[in-house]
Amino acid sequence: MTSDADLSTRWLSPEQRQVWLDMVRVLTRLPASLDAQLERDAGMNFYEYHVLSMLSETEQRTLSVSRLAELTSSSVTRLSNVAKRLEARGLLARVTDPADRRVTLATLTDAGLAAVTAAAPRHVTIVRRLIVDAVTPAQLRQLQAIQQRILAELDPGAVTRPEWLDPEPAP
């Protein structure tokens, strides 16, 4: 007996299935590789590094917790748990926004900046080895174009895109 779902589902072709399963392999192996490198070299996981690096990119090393959660594709609850651990290590501080008492701000401390700065060279080395140098410059441009198309579906409002990556508006 054939169900309605079987009739309406556009199943993947063998080639499409292979592409999907290869992507699944990348999606599962890449985070594990990044975590292992950062744990070994910096005593932090990739998500912790990502949180600290996002803060390091801002002018005041400060973002609202809700914006930081968006930028790191996380829930506020997950980010708060990680922020608590980073706070205990002296890498991050959280304070109430004096301009809006409903908002909590996360600030990268001097120790946090030192930690992310120390971790960055080895992290960039593995990113370069696993991604950038693994493909040709033309393939890298194709990868960016492909990622932009996928992100247009996953994040249509581009809420996970850091503002500082956007070019400055012309005067």
For 47-91, the pLDDT digits (tens) are 999 999 999 999 899 999 999 999 999 999 999 999 999 999 999
81-120 residue pLDDT tens: 999 999 999 999 999 999 999 999 999 999 999 999 999 9
User: In the chain, what percentage of residues exceed pLDDT 90?
Assistant: 89
Task: Tell me the average pLDDT of the chain.
Answer: 94
The pair of three-digit structure tokens given for residue 35, joined into one six-digit string: 């975590």
CATH of 31-130, one of 1.10.10.10, 1.10.1740.10, 3.30.70.520, 3.40.50.150: 1.10.10.10
Query: Over 80: is that where the pLDDT of 1 sits?
Result: no
**C-beta atoms surrounding 82 within 10 Å:** 22
> Rounded to an integer, what distance in angstroms lies between the CA atom of residue 149 and that of residue 155?
10
Where are the domains positioned within the chain?
Answer: 31-130
Cβ-based neighbours of 117, under 8 Å, separated by 6 or more: 56
pLDDT surpasses 80 at 7: no
Q: What span, in angstroms and rounded, lies between the C-alpha atoms of 148 and 72?
A: 17
> Residue 120 has which token pair?
């960055």
